[in-house]
Amino acid sequence: MDTINTKWLLLIISLPTNSATARMRIWRALKTLGCGALRDGAYLLPNSALHQQQFSDLSDETVREGGSAWLLAVHAQAETEIDAYRALFDRSGDYAELLHAFSDARKTLAKLTPQEINRVLRKLRRDYEALRTVDYFPNEMSAQAEAAWMDFVNAAELILSPGEPHSINAVIPQLDTNSYQKRTWATRRHLWVDRVASAWLIRHFIDRKARFLWLDSPDDCPAKALGFDFDGAAFTHIGDRVTFEVLLASFGLDSDRGLVRLGAMVHALDVGNGYVPEANGFEAMLSGARQRVTDDDQLLAELEVVLNLLYAHFSNDPQTSETKR
C-alpha cells in the first residue's frame, strides 16, 4: 500500500451558532484549501507540512471564536478507504465547467478588443490556477484542462501579438557583450511579455546604450539592426527557450539567479508552461500599462520599474520557491 496515500489530516471543528461571521470566514478558508468534507464540521486533506500548518491556523482561529477544534492525523486502513477518501477530491466537475468556460471564451476572442482579451485572460488564468492549486490527485481531466488552457492562451496571443515566433532547433551561440554595444535592436511593436522583458534585459545587462525600433512587421527590420522575438531574428525562440532565455544563455547571464527566475516567469506567461506565483501580477501590470501609455517607448519605461523590482525580489528572497517545469 502506498504510504503517501494512506496518510491524511482530519480537522473537526464546531462553532457557536451565534458566530455567523466567523463561521463564514472559516468555511471560505476551508473551501479555498479544497478540503474533502466527511460530514458537516469534519474536513480532510492529504497530509503535508503545509496542510498541517493551514489546518492548525484554522483550529486556532476556531478556538479564538469560542468554538472547539481537533486536528488529527489519520491513516487509511484499506485500498477501498483510500479510494473513498480520494473521491472526495475529484475535481472532474470543476474542470468540466472550466473547459466550458474556455470554449465559450475562445468563440468570442475575435470580437474583443485587446483590453477585453486581457481581462478574460486574467480571469480565466486566476480560475485555472486556483483549481490547479487544490487538484491534489490530477487525472485525465486535469490534462485536458491544461491542453485547453494552452490552446486558449495561444489563440489570444495570436490576436494580441501577431507574428509570434516559432521555435527552431539550433545551437545557442556564446557571445561577448563587448561586441554588442550601442547597437540598434528591433522587435514587433505592441510589446508583450517576452519582448518587453527582453528589451529590459538588453538595456540593463547587455547593451546599456541600446536603441530600439518597434516594427509594424518583421519584414521592416533594417539589415543592420539586431532583431529579437520574431521568425528569422538574430535572437528568437530556440528549443524550449523563449527569447529572454535565449538572450540569457547567449550572453552568459544564465548563472544569475534573479535573471533565471525572471526568465521562468517570462517562459510561463509566453508559452503557458510552468507556474510562477508572480506571473499573474506581472501580466496584470503589463496589461494596465498597455492601457495607460500611447507608445512602446513609454511602455518599456513603465515596465522597467516593475522588472527591476521583480529582479531584486527573485535575486534576494530566500523564500522564493524553485519554479516547476
Predicted pLDDT at 133: 92
**Strands 211-215 and 184-188, sheet pairing:** parallel
- 82 pLDDT higher than 80: yes
Do 61 and 102 sit in the same domain of this protein? no
Provide long-range contacts, Cβ within 8 A and 24+ apart, for 146-153. 148/98, 148/99, 148/102, 148/103, 149/102, 149/124, 149/272, 150/271, 150/272, 150/273, 151/102, 151/106, 152/102, 152/105, 152/106, 152/124, 153/121, 153/272
Do 289 and 229 sit in the same domain of this protein? yes
Burial group, residue 284, by CB count within 10 angstroms (0-12, 13-18, 19+): middle
Do 265 and 296 sit in the same domain of this protein? yes
CA distance 14 to 319: 34
CATH of the domain at 14: 3.30.70.240
Please state the rounded mean pLDDT for residues 206-220. 94
Which residue among 62, 87, 112 closes a domain? 87
Q: How confident is the model at residue 61 (pLDDT cuts 50, 70, 90)?
A: very high
Q: How many domains does the chain have?
A: 3
CA distance 71 to 298: 54
Please state the rounded mean pLDDT for residues 265-294. 86
Which residue among 103, 132, 160 closes a domain? 160
Predicted confidence (pLDDT) per residue in 186-199, tens digit: 999 889 999 999 99
- 182 pLDDT higher than 80: yes
Predicted confidence (pLDDT) per residue in 256-269, tens digit: 999 999 999 999 98
Residue-number span of the structural domain to which 77 is assigned = 3-87
Whether residue 321 is contained in a domain is answered as: no
Do 188 and 290 sit in the same domain of this protein? yes
Whether residue 126 is contained in a domain is answered as: yes
Q: How confident is the model at residue 325 (pLDDT cuts 50, 70, 90)?
A: very low
E strand intervals along the chain? 7-14, 36-39, 42-46, 68-75, 184-188, 211-215, 226-227
Do 305 and 243 sit in the same domain of this protein? yes
Do 191 and 293 sit in the same domain of this protein? yes
Whether residue 165 is contained in a domain is answered as: no
Predicted pLDDT at 5: 55
- 322 pLDDT higher than 90: no
For residue 83, the one-letter residue type is D
Which range of 24-33, 111-120, 155-164 scores highest in mean pLDDT? It is 24-33
